[in-house]
Amino acid sequence: MNDTETERNGAGAPGAIGRAIRSWREKLGLRQGELARKAGMSAAQLCHVEKDRNAPSTRTLQRIADALGVPLAELAGGPPAAGTASRPAAPNPETTEDETDFVSSLRPCGATSLADLPPAARAQVRRRILEYRELERRAGVPVLPSLPLDYPSEIAAGDAEALAGAVRRAAGIADAVLFDSIALLENKGLRVVAADLPEAVDAFALWDGAARNVWLVLRKGATDERQQFRAMCAFADALRFVAGGARTPVGDAPADRAFAKAFAAAFLMPAAALRELCYRLAVRPDGWNWELLLREKKRYGVSAETFARRLEALELLRPSLRQEFARRARAWTAEHGGEPNPSHRKELRHSRFGDLKALLELR
């Protein structure tokens, strides 16, 4: 089929799909091999699709769209026919000046900003944010968070444990065990998007001054446990940024990183909850074993090493046992990959972003 025949067939024709894939790939600066790897296919298969030698199945096309970070409609739908009404599922990548201004207005809360990302990742995050914003606009939902983000600077800058406790009380969960902190933040109105960030960047926060809200950007490739912990580290940066008057991003000095990690540990694993756990199980600091550690850490959605480190910090676990558990966790990861007894939280599958898309599809 030549180009003329493809155009006669209209939107969604195989040739149009191949050209759309190639156009997006080149716009993002991706080689065929890179996109093929992200989509779980060979470079030869992708080449055939782009050249219209093979028509991809819907499932394959969805994998390619996900790898590019674009809505499926951008690849399969094509432009609407002349004279017909159209309500796009996502904003056009050729955004208006207002949309561009919006993305540019988002301020980094910590040491990572959009400008620090490679071009492909930066473009993907930008599209994710604009698509999310468009869904909010179409659904007519509130964009102000219901969770307070402004805490006294003496707490937000000086005591990670106290700050975590204050946020938990404001969220109405006190010392309850919380399996999915990301879902909690989304339920309180914070925006969360995932993208193919570089390995060195697990998560970062951006401040939307107009809505007084935070965008959390997470790395898709991270394990559930790491993603959740690093999301809370980025949230800690956001809280400190707001407490400082939303003027100066939190730095990347060791003290800044230590504060963020301490906040994440205290928020995900409240001291009172862990002490109650040890009391109810009658587990002394030298009474933990590997199997029990794996069972209990899963309830908190954190890694075995993070859980053991928190127990040790609260003097609920002997340092020698913590070191042994850390060795076992690292050995497991080296041999099997991932996390022993991993969390079953599916990455953003039940996110507010997905809920908005489902809501609009029912209208």
Write out pLDDT tens, residues 191-244: 999 999 999 999 999 999 999 999 999 999 888 999 999 999 999 999 999 999
Do 159 and 262 belong together in one domain? Answer: yes
**Predicted local confidence at residue 232, as pLDDT:** 98
In a domain, 203, yes or no: yes
Query: Are residues 244 and 280 located together in one domain of the fold?
Result: no
**72 & 139 share domain:** no
Q: Do 111 and 258 sit in the same domain of this protein?
A: yes
Q: Which of 44, 78, 112 is the last residue of a domain?
A: 78
The full length of the chain comes to 363
**Identity of the amino acid at 296:** E
Q: What is the CATH number of the domain that holds 36?
A: 1.10.260.40
Domain end residue (candidates: 269, 293, 320) = 269
pLDDT tens for each residue of 16-31: 788 888 888 877 777 8
290/328 Cα distance (integer angstroms): 8
Of 88-97, 193-202, 349-358, the least confident: 88-97
27, 50: one domain: yes
Q: Are residues 236 and 139 in the same domain?
A: yes
255 and 322 belong to one structural domain = no
Domain count, the chain: 3
Res. 184 pLDDT band, cuts 50 70 90: very high
Least confident of 37-41, 68-72, 104-108: 68-72
- Residue 37 belongs to some domain of the structure: yes
On whether both 182 and 324 belong to a single domain, the answer is no
Residue 88 pLDDT level (bands cut at 50, 70, 90) = very low
Range of the domain at 40: 3-78
Q: Please report whether residue 120 resides in a domain.
A: yes
- Whose CA is closest to 261, among 221, 215, 222, 203? 203
pLDDT digits (tens, 9 = 90+) for 232-291: 999 999 999 999 999 999 999 999 999 999 999 999 999 999 999 999 999 999 999 999
Residue 341, domain member (yes or no): no
pLDDT score for 96: 45
Q: What is the rounded distance in angstroms from the CA atom of residue 159 to the CA atom of residue 202? A: 24
| Residues 207, 253 share a domain | yes
In a domain, 63, yes or no: yes
C-alpha R_g of the chain: 23
**Claim to verify: residue 73 and residue 157 sit in the same structural domain:** no
Q: How confident is the model at residue 149 (pLDDT cuts 50, 70, 90)?
A: very high
Pair (258, 300) in one structural domain: no
The answer to whether position 95 is within a domain reads: no
pLDDT at 360: 84
Give the pLDDT score at 148: 94
- The last residue of one of the domains, among 218, 247, 269, is 269
Res 93: pLDDT = 40
- Answer with the residue of higher pLDDT: 23 or 98: 23
DSSP string, 177-213: --S-HHHHHHHTT-EEEEE---TT-SEEEEEETTTTE
- Which of 51-60, 174-183, 329-338, 348-357 is predicted least confidently? 348-357
Contact in structure between 16 and 49 (CB atoms under 8 Å): no
Q: With contact defined as beta carbons under 8 Å apart, do 277 and 296 qualify?
A: yes
Average pLDDT, the chain: 85
What pLDDT, on the 0 to 100 scale, is given for residue 346?
58
| pLDDT, tens only, 327-346 | 999 999 999 988 999 887 65
Whether 362 has a pLDDT exceeding 80, the answer reads no
Strands (E), the chain: 107-108, 191-195, 203-208, 213-219
361 found inside a domain: no
Do 246 and 115 lie in one domain? The reply is: yes
Rounded alpha-carbon distances, angstroms, from residue 66 to 16, 47, 124: 18, 17, 10
Q: Evaluate whether residue 87 is within a structural domain.
A: no
Report the distance separating Cα 69 and Cα 75, nearest Å: 11
